[in-house]
């Protein structure tokens, strides 16, 4: 199962009674990006209120808490841990007591050179209280702020020391806010504003849910300062020749109603389906999407082929993505709790089953088996993403090489393992065409093993020969 890596939300509002409520609505909108933990921090004059919880936003942040959290400046965060543990002490935002009165920070992304920076900060006698990479980003920024002439210089210092993906929301205890995105723009980060409010967040849906129009994306390598009166000032800290926007945000992670770096995710997914239908012929009776991400692609396939789409798999909407069964045997059966087939739709039918990606292949295998057991006579599996052959170090929980089914197997072997009659992967050119950015502006490292940053490339190259490694955080050693 693929997991997301976090959603971030930062706000300035001249109406201090509204700030925490808008953070709450924003976090609900990006809840799909992380369901492990959440956090909210609001600055009221010089008084900081910071709360963190394990679990979902709607289950943990109460109306009475929101009514107590007043102030013009705030940050919220939802977390799925790709670095660090699944405990509340690793939840974001984090705060320091320096420089001056301190800063508060949350981010979306993943720090690749986590181990060496952690050691460096320990050498500087920094008091690290968690294993979360956001705390490392925060201390690096605080150190740079302590010695820099201005905030732009400090963010440049951070960008020179860290390697990885980061969309950062931060405020000082003086009430100034700063937002910046890594020099490649791996993870999405956008903003919108009206007369009273400025919001910076991972996905545009978190603006819309607050009645704020999307204004623009924070560009790769860009810093935007929001002063105590809500005035914005942009600085391009590092120039970016080619971005590396994560292709998987479009394929799977982001909500279809979001606009990322100028592209509507729903439109991209429909076109992914259309491009599959233009690449492969089929005389199937019905198209069945694996809910929920594949619905738009199924619609695209239907537009081209004329084959109808039907709901052949029903998802139990009360089971969240982090749902864990109490025993291994029960965990192996999780997919049967989450999904159930409709026999009358599937029986005696030739089916195009549409899914967004195959990582290990275990879930796909169970779904194909479920559909066949429900009476389907033939199952063609159409995947909107090309084969995933390499891990991700930029914030997505994709496995080691050895666990990736497409690393070790060609299509006919995967068909056999999964039990599909035909397996059709998206072609890489068709993926790029659907997203609409140039290939040189996309990260596709998990598809081609070509990483934009040196430590990630080094780790991946060394890992290829260590396929027996269990799922580990490679950057724990940085494989040096």
Contacting ligand SF4 (CB under 6 A), which of 186, 191, 407, 475?
Answer: 186
Residue among 86, 75, 85 at smallest CA distance from 108: 75
Structure tokens at 70: 């007043």
C-alpha 34/C-alpha 255 separation (Å) is 13
Contacting ligand SF4 (CB under 6 A), which of 307, 446, 460, 463?
Answer: 446
Pick out residues in 116-175 that bind ligand SF4 (CB under 6 A). none
Q: How far is the CB of 423 from ligand SF4 (least distance, A)?
A: 20
Q: How far is the CB of 272 from ligand SF4 (least distance, A)?
A: 14
Pick out residues in 59-118 that bind ligand SF4 (CB under 6 A). none
Which stretch, 8-16, 54-62, 301-309, 390-398, contacts ligand SF4 (CB under 6 A)? 390-398
> Considering just the CA atoms, what is the radius of gyration of the chain in Å?
22
> Among all chains, which residue has been given the structure tokens 């494989």?
479
Contacting ligand SF4 (CB under 6 A), which of 24, 184, 189, 248?
Answer: 248
Which stretch, 49-57, 214-222, 245-253, 375-383, contacts ligand SF4 (CB under 6 A)? 245-253
Residues 212 and 189: beta-carbon distance below 8 Å: no
Contacting ligand SF4 (CB under 6 A), which of 220, 443, 459, 463?
Answer: 443
**Secondary structure E strands in 183-329:** 190-193, 197-201, 214-217, 222-226, 232-236, 245-246, 259-260, 263-264, 286-289, 313-315
Residue among 380, 382, 290 at smallest CA distance from 335: 290
Contacting ligand SF4 (CB under 6 A), which of 61, 162, 277, 444?
Answer: 444
Interaction of residue 247 with ligand SF4, rule CB under 6 A: yes
Query: Listing from the earlier edge strand, what are the strands of the sheet with 7-13?
Result: 47-54, 37-44, 73-79, 7-13, 197-201, 190-193, 214-217
Residue among 340, 332, 335, 384 at smallest CA distance from 358: 384
Residue 232 CB coordination number (10 Å) = 16
Residues 443 and 460: beta-carbon distance below 8 Å: no
Contacting ligand SF4 (CB under 6 A), which of 246, 271, 309, 367?
Answer: 246
> Which residue, 275 or 302, has its beta carbon nearer to ligand SF4?
275
Residue 85 CB coordination number (10 Å) = 12
Burial of 249 (0-12, 13-18, 19+ CB in 10 A): buried
Which stretch, 97-105, 189-197, 370-378, 441-449, contacts ligand SF4 (CB under 6 A)? 441-449
> Which residue, 184 or 200, has its beta carbon nearer to ligand SF4?
184
Residue among 127, 128, 104, 136 at smallest CA distance from 39: 104
Contacting ligand SF4 (CB under 6 A), which of 212, 218, 392, 418?
Answer: 392
Asked if residue 420 has a cis previous peptide bond (ω within 30° of 0), the answer is no
Which stretch, 167-175, 244-252, 349-357, 418-426, contacts ligand SF4 (CB under 6 A)? 244-252
Residue among 388, 480, 479, 478 at smallest CA distance from 112: 478
Contacting ligand SF4 (CB under 6 A), which of 394, 407, 425, 474?
Answer: 394
Q: How far is the CB of 396 from ligand SF4 (least distance, A)?
A: 4
How many residues touch ligand SF4 under the rule CB under 6 A: the total is 12
C-alpha 406/C-alpha 256 separation (Å) is 26
C-alpha 354/C-alpha 347 separation (Å) is 17
Q: How far is the CB of 372 from ligand SF4 (least distance, A)?
A: 30
> Which residue, 340 or 439, has its beta carbon nearer to ligand SF4?
439
Q: How far is the CB of 110 from ligand SF4 (least distance, A)?
A: 9
> Which residue, 381 or 398, has its beta carbon nearer to ligand SF4?
398
> Which residue, 11 or 220, has its beta carbon nearer to ligand SF4?
220
Q: How far is the CB of 244 from ligand SF4 (least distance, A)?
A: 7
Q: How far is the CB of 57 from ligand SF4 (least distance, A)?
A: 24
Q: Give me the 288-327 binding string for ligand SF4, x by CB under 6 A, dash otherwise.
A: ----------------------------------------
Contacting ligand SF4 (CB under 6 A), which of 445, 459, 460, 463?
Answer: 445
Which residues are paired to 340 by β-bridges? 314
Q: Give me the 187-226 binding string for ligand SF4, x by CB under 6 A, dash otherwise.
A: ----------------------------------------
C-alpha 156/C-alpha 147 separation (Å) is 12
Residues designated as active site = 6
Which stretch, 3-11, 358-366, 389-397, 417-425, contacts ligand SF4 (CB under 6 A)? 389-397
What b-and-e string marks burial along 42-73, b requiring 16 or more CB atoms within 10 Å of the CB? bbbeeebbbbbbbebbeebbeeeebeebbbbb
Residues 148 and 157: beta-carbon distance below 8 Å: yes
Q: How far is the CB of 8 from ligand SF4 (least distance, A)?
A: 16
Torsion, CA 480, CA 105, CA 255, CA 392, rounded to 10 = 0
> Which residue, 73 or 456, has its beta carbon nearer to ligand SF4?
456
> Which residue, 392 or 430, has its beta carbon nearer to ligand SF4?
392
Helix (H) or strand (E) holding 351: strand 350-355
Give me the residues that bind ligand SF4 (CB under 6 A), please. 186, 246-248, 392, 394, 396, 398, 443-446
């Amino acid at each position: 199962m693929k997991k997301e890596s976090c959603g971030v939300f930062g706000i300035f509002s001249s109406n201090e009674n509204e700030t925490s409520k808008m953070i709450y609505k924003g976090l609900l909108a990006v809840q799909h990006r992380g369901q492990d933990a959440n956090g909210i921090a609001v600055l009221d004059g010089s008084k900081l209120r910071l709360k963190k919880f394990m679990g979902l936003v709607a289950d943990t942040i109460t109306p009475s808490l929101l009514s107590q959290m007043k102030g013009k400046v705030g940050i919220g965060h939802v977390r799925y841990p790709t670095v660090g543990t699944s405990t509340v002490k690793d939840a974001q935002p984090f705060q320091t007591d320096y420089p001056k009165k301190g800063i508060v920070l949350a981010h979306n992304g993943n720090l690749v050179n986590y181990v060496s920076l952690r050691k460096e900060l320990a050498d500087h006698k920094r008091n690290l209280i968690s294993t979360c990479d956001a705390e490392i980003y925060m201390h690096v920024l605080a150190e740079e702020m302590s010695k820099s002439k201005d905030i732009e210089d400090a963010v440049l210092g951070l960008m020179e020391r860290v390697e990885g993906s980061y969309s950062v929301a931060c405020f000082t205890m003086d009430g100034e806010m700063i937002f910046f995105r890594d020099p490649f723009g791996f993870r999405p980060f956008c903003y919108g504003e009206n007369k009273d409010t400025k919001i910076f967040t991972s996905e545009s849906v978190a603006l819309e849910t607050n009645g704020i129009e999307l204004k623009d994306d924070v560009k790769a390598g860009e810093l935007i300062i929001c002063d105590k009166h809500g005035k914005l000032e942009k600085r391009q800290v590092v120039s970016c020749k080619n971005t590396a926007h994560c292709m998987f945000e479009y394929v799977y992670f982001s909500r279809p109603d979001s606009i990322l770096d100028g592209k509507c995710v729903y439109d991209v997914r429909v076109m992914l389906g259309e491009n599959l239908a233009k690449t492969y012929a089929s005389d199937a009776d019905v198209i069945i999407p694996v809910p929920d991400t594949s619905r738009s692609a199924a619609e695209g396939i239907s537009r081209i082929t004329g084959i109808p789409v039907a709901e052949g798999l029903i998802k139990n909407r009360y089971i969240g993505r982090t749902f864990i069964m109490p025993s291994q045997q029960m965990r192996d059966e999780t997919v049967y709790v989450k999904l159930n087939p409709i026999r009358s739709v599937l029986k005696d039918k030739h089916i195009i089953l549409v899914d967004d990606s195959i990582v290990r292949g275990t879930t796909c295998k169970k779904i194909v088996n479920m559909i066949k057991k429900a009476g389907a006579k033939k199952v063609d599996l159409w995947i909107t993403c090309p084969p995933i052959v390499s891990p991700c170090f930029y914030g997505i929980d994709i496995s080691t090489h050895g666990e990736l089914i497409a690393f070790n197997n060609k299509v006919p072997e995967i068909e056999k393992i999964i039990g599909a009659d035909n397996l059709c992967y998206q072609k890489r050119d068709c993926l790029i065409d659907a997203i609409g950015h140039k290939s040189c502006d996309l990260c596709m490292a998990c598809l081609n093993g070509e990483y934009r940053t040196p430590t990630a490339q080094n780790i991946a190259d060394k890992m290829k020969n260590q396929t027996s490694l269990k799922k580990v955080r490679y950057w724990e050693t940085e494989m040096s």
